[in-house]
Amino acid sequence: MISVKSAKEIEVMKRACEIAAGALVAAEKALRPGMSTWELDKVIHDYIVSKGARPSSLGYGGFPASACISVNSELIHGIPSKKKIIREGDIVSVDVTAEIDGYNGDNAYTFKVGEVSEEAQRLLQTTEEALYEGIKMAVAGNRIGDISNAVQTYCESRGYFIVEKFIGHGIGHEMHEAPDVPNFGKPGRGPRLVPGMTICIEPMVNQSCAQVRIMPDRWTVVEGNGNLSAHYEHTVAITDGEPLILTKSSLHHPK
Ligand code: MF3
Ligand code: CO
Ligand code: CO
């Protein structure tokens, strides 16, 4: 069942989303070559806890950290580690979910560490723009498939590959709720959007193939050929008017 939130519930959820978004800003500030992904996770953990919230990922299905941190070919679900050192030129995807007062906010961003290659830059720009193409379709009366198709069309027209194995989702009391929000599909299909729905749109995009591999740690999801991958995510509320990006922050947001 898809839960529809009242205006009051959305206000509460906004707090969780602001904290999740603030954690990404804190990560951006702390990010520097030479640090480990474990150190970056600690910055995120401490930020969330300092706001009186809980990192929803910690312990989720046994996940051992507060954020998923995925470097270069790693797409999602990277486990922070003291042994994983971030280098100049890396792209680092950070995915943070926070819970406060019984509601969750979920967002992700792929950061550039210093100067990155032209090909990395283009992948990041396309994936972030695809997220906004999806968000544009998140209006009452449309269907989930309209969002899915917008994301897919945008990425594929630029020569990239949508990963189908992992998808966006509804969000609220739980981090993952109905409906599924795939990054691929046909316009006019799927559940109809109504004001009060809250969903996570999160394109997961590969450079060279649609396939992924799961690493022996059983979490880390990697681009099938070991090439680059990117991930951006926002929590969005459907309203009577424009889509409301609940996880908006000072991080770059394309038009
Ligand atoms: N935040 C992720 C999402 O966008 C889920 C992370 S679950 C974890 O859906 F267990 F890996 F943290
Ligand atoms: Co997420
Ligand atoms: Co999500």
Q: What digits encode the pLDDT tens for the residues 202-244? A: 999 999 999 999 999 999 999 999 999 999 999 999 999 999 9
The answer to whether residue 158 sits within a structural domain is yes
Q: Where are the alpha helices (DSSP H) in the chain?
A: 7-30, 37-50, 118-136, 144-157
Ligand nearest to the CA of 56: 1
Cα(62) to ligand 3 centroid in Å equals 17
The pick from 97, 232, 235 for probing ligand 1's pocket by mutation, whose C-beta has the most ligand atoms within 8 angstroms, reads 97
Contact 130/203 with Cβ under 8 angstroms?
Answer: yes
Contact 20/233 with Cβ under 8 angstroms?
Answer: no
The answer to whether residue 92 sits within a structural domain is yes
Cα(18) to ligand 3 centroid in Å equals 15
pLDDT over 90 at 196, yes or no: yes
pLDDT digits (tens, 9 = 90+) for 87-145: 999 999 999 999 999 999 999 999 999 999 999 999 999 999 999 999 999 999 999 99
Atom of ligand 1 lying closest to residue 219 CA: 11
- pLDDT score at 228: 99
Nearest to 158 by CA among 196, 203, 214, 213: 203
Atom of ligand 1 lying closest to residue 57 CA: 12
The answer to whether residue 71 sits within a structural domain is yes
Residue 223 in contact with ligand 1 by CB distance below 6 A:
no
Taking phi over 0 as left and psi of -120 to 50 as alpha, with beta for the rest, 56 belongs to: alpha
Residue 62 in contact with ligand 1 by CB distance below 6 A:
no
Q: What angle do CA 255, 110, 189 make, to 5 degrees?
A: 60
Average pLDDT over residues 160-182: 98
The whole domain housing 215 covers 7-245
What percent of the chain has pLDDT above 90? 100
Ligand nearest to the CA of 21: 2
Cα(105) to ligand 3 centroid in Å equals 9
Distance of CA 255 to the CA centre of its chain: 18
The answer to whether residue 159 sits within a structural domain is yes
The answer to whether residue 255 sits within a structural domain is no
**79: buried, middle or exposed (CB in 10 Å: 19+, 13-18, 0-12)?**
buried
Q: Where are the beta strands (DSSP E) in the chain?
A: 54-55, 67-71, 74-76, 91-100, 103-112, 161-162, 168-170, 177-181, 198-201, 204-206, 212-214, 221-223, 229-231, 234-237, 244-245
| 3-class secondary-structure state, position 121 | helix
The answer to whether residue 26 sits within a structural domain is yes
Rounded to whole angstroms, how far apart are CA atoms 123 and 159?
A: 10
- pLDDT score at 39: 99
Query: Domain with 77 in it: what CATH number?
Result: 3.90.230.10
The answer to whether residue 251 sits within a structural domain is no
Cα(202) to ligand 3 centroid in Å equals 6
Atom 11 of ligand 1, residue of closest alpha carbon = 77
| Cα distances (angstroms) measured from residue 224 to each of 126, 146, 197, 210, 232 | 19, 27, 33, 7, 19
Q: 47 is written with which tokens? A: 């930020």
DSSP secondary structure letter of residue 206: E
- pLDDT score at 255: 80
Residue 40 in contact with ligand 1 by CB distance below 6 A:
no
Residue 235 in contact with ligand 1 by CB distance below 6 A:
no
What's the mean per-residue pLDDT of the chain?
98
Kindly report whether the global pTM for this prediction surpasses the value 0.85.
yes
Residue 120 in contact with ligand 1 by CB distance below 6 A:
no
Q: 32 is written with which tokens? A: 């520097």
Nearest to 16 by CA among 182, 204, 237: 237
pLDDT digits (tens, 9 = 90+) for 39-84: 999 999 999 999 999 999 999 999 999 999 999 999 999 999 999 9
Atom of ligand 1 lying closest to residue 77 CA: 11
The answer to whether residue 253 sits within a structural domain is no
Q: How many domains would you assign to the chain?
A: 1
Atom of ligand 1 lying closest to residue 67 CA: 12
- pLDDT score at 252: 93
Q: 252 is written with which tokens? A: 């770059």
Rounded to whole angstroms, how far apart are CA atoms 251 and 110?
A: 11
User: Which residue has 């290659």 as its token pair?
Assistant: 117
Residue 63 in contact with ligand 1 by CB distance below 6 A:
yes
Residue 233 in contact with ligand 1 by CB distance below 6 A:
yes
